[in-house]
Amino acid sequence: MRRHGPLFIQDNINETRLRTRSRSDRVLDSYLELYIRRLLPEHRFTSTFLALVYSALDENRMRAIAEKLYHFLAPKQLVSAEVLESAERYGCGLEIDDDPEEIINAMLYVSEAKGLQGEAIEILEGLSNFVREPMERVEKMESFSSLVNAYGLDSDELHLILFLFLVSINEKLLSLVSEWKTSEMLRGMSICTGVAQGRLRALISSNSKLRTYNLVEITPHQRFILELNDEVVEYLAASEMGSLYERFLRPAGSGAYPLDSFPVRRDQQELCRTLLSGSRPVQILLYGREGTGKTEFARALGAATGKKVYSFIRSEDSRRDNLTRLSLTLGALSSTDTIVIIDEAESILDGGKLWFGDFMMGNKDQKARINILLDQVRCPVIWIVNSIAGIQSSTLRRFTFSIEFRALKPQILAERVWTALETLPLSEGVKQRAAELASQRELTGAAIANLRAALEELAGHQLDEDRLIKYVDTLFSANSELVGGKQRVRERTGTTYNMDVLNLSQPPERILHAVAHHIATAQAGSNVSGRQVGGLRILFYGMPGTGKTELARHVAERVGCKLDIRRASDILSPYVGEAEKNIAAMFNEAEDSGDILLIDEADAFLYDRGRAHRSWEITQVDEFLTRMEEFRGVLICTTNLLGSLDRAVIRRFQLKVEFQPLHRSGTEELLRTYFPDLNFSAALLDSLAAKGPYVPGDFAVVHSMIAAMPDADITPDFIVQTLIEESRHRKPAGTSIGFTA
């Protein structure tokens, strides 16, 4: 724990200093004087105790005490002549060489040793004029009152906190209590606070409110075994900073984008704004993947209510400090005219994985503080997290409303780029191209803000448009790869694509017609045979490289829909139950957007439940089956391993299309498409056919391989031989696994 320097008690405080002190300081002074008055008849005359007494006295009172003790002890001849002489001179207002405190101490020590402590105490009490009642009750001080509101403290709890606060900021009081033995500690605190020893013992027990809320800590290796939490000390000491909660809040701002520019349904926006505009302390939870605009949406939402909006300033030290700091802040906010935004709130709300370490260390009661905090909040709060995986269900139930944020759609990204670059001195061509590049990648809102900052700098360098566009492409590529692990989201097929060359179990035109008919029917809201149209589910299966994913791209392109590609990495999670949530969110997002949903390599998680070893392997397949039956859009799944799929999953696809290796005609057509400048002889074509079979992926690999080769090296013989080598990689080597004969 950090120690704080003296705030209001200094040696030999004079009257001028007292008159210039704040009212709260004078109230705290009066409580310290009250403690000293209560301790005087009970405490021994030790140097640390007397130093505390003297710190509350001015010089005139010190001289009066010295004079009175001189007249009391001189006739008894119990003190040395040197001490009496110094005491007499000091009492008369003369200067002395000795330390006045040491002279008074010597007389008090003798009085105690000779059984005259009672008379000495009467002298100290009579001349010190310490208060008998505090200047003002502590409950009326703003900072302490806020603490009572934040935690529902009773009078005994508050007076113990006041005592520990004074110990934290007053070195002489700290020195005194640090000398108390363990057996004396409760008695000393009881004398000062007026709280019975048995009650104090209960207040500092491990299951007490003060310990559960981490307001009071047991610190056996510190000078005093009991300490007030640092955040509480700093909070209580901030009485001269204006509004106390401003220490932990800053204005949130109105946000960079209008409210209707976010990928949130209009009815959800209106409900949030209505709830936050009301007079109740509602709790809104915004959750979803990082960089999807949750914070900007919260700012825009708060600004739309017309209320004051603040952002909570988190501590980087520990989760418990954040929870303590937030409890203090929200306890000071009693008005619903203020909205607080709490970003990156996992460190506060997470009652699962983040609290595991605290649980193992014996702090399992900490989790209950989260729910207590939510129940006691008296102003609207917007909580922002990237994941709800570790948040307890008992905590989630306390939120008034929640919105899930998903990856920003290409159209949203393009619009954000236009908005960000609108005022920059750039040509319309550069802005248009930047918007197009943004729509082709997985980007975050921060990437667009960074783009604006970079282009503001580059705009002053007189660069040509091609150079600027190249820089934009480089910036977006770096961000997309950093955040999503890939540079570009490819939704369209290349110019060399020809679906007629594919060797499918069903004609590709039939697949295209089925998808187009379903989309047209769904858009028209038509019924078939009096029943509402359900979803269209298509399974593409076959060996790798046969063109399954590419055909899905082509179909989406032909029917004018976006293709939402998901893989196992987008769905699976190390946390139990999270994969099921991701599956539900995936289908909901596709339903809302109208995109064609493509699940690539679905065998990675839709494996046969009969071979499952863990319960979650079964539940995620169950969840997928339920969601795919309820889904009213177009679902395409691809797999290289049909035999590993759960049989119930396979049965639910209306169209099952097998992708086989190319026929000879298809092979020769792709040769002409990929290598139009080369002439392949009949003998080469026969040689190629004899070594097959081939798949479209082989041609794509070879085509990319020759991109950096000199033209002279690219011959028909080289192409044919390379295709043959590529096809051999798919063929099993024929060697067995295990022991050799």
Residue 24 to residue 27: CA distance in whole angstroms:
5
Tens-digit pLDDT profile for residues 596-616: 999 998 888 786 666 655 665
Q: What is the mean pLDDT of the chain?
A: 82
Tens-digit pLDDT profile for residues 650-700: 999 999 999 999 999 999 999 998 898 899 999 999 999 998 789 999 998
Residue 513 to residue 533: CA distance in whole angstroms:
16
Residue 99 to residue 86: CA distance in whole angstroms:
9
The answer to which of 163-177, 569-583, 681-695 has the lowest mean pLDDT is 569-583
Residue 530 to residue 375: CA distance in whole angstroms:
49
Q: In this structure, what token pair is assigned to residue 281?
A: 């302390």
Q: pLDDT-based confidence at 495, cuts 50/70/90?
A: low
- The residues, ordered by sequence, that sit 6+ positions from 603 with a Cβ below 8 Å of its Cβ are 639, 640, 641, 642, 644, 645
Residue 275 to residue 223: CA distance in whole angstroms:
50
Q: pLDDT-based confidence at 501, cuts 50/70/90?
A: very high
Judge contact between 638 and 599, C-beta under 8 A. Answer: yes
The answer to which of 133-147, 212-226, 255-269, 617-631 has the lowest mean pLDDT is 212-226
- Rounded to 10 degrees, the C-alpha dihedral 127/132/136/140 comes to 140
Q: pLDDT-based confidence at 47, cuts 50/70/90?
A: very high
Tens-digit pLDDT profile for residues 11-29: 333 343 344 467 888 999 9
User: What's the burial of 401, exposed, middle or buried (CB within 10 Å: 0-12/13-18/19+)?
Assistant: middle
pLDDT, mean of residues 469-478: 81
172 three-class SS: helix
The rounded radius of gyration (Å) of the Cα atoms in the chain is 39
Judge contact between 339 and 302, C-beta under 8 A. Answer: yes
Is residue 741 pLDDT above 70, yes or no?
A: no
- DSSP symbol at 82: H
For 42-45, the CB contacts below 8 A with 24+ separation are 42/191, 43/188, 44/112, 45/105, 45/108, 45/109, 45/111, 45/112, 45/117, 45/120
Better pLDDT: 613 or 395: 395
Better pLDDT: 317 or 357: 317
Judge contact between 165 and 233, C-beta under 8 A. Answer: yes
Tens-digit pLDDT profile for residues 443-455: 766 777 777 788 7
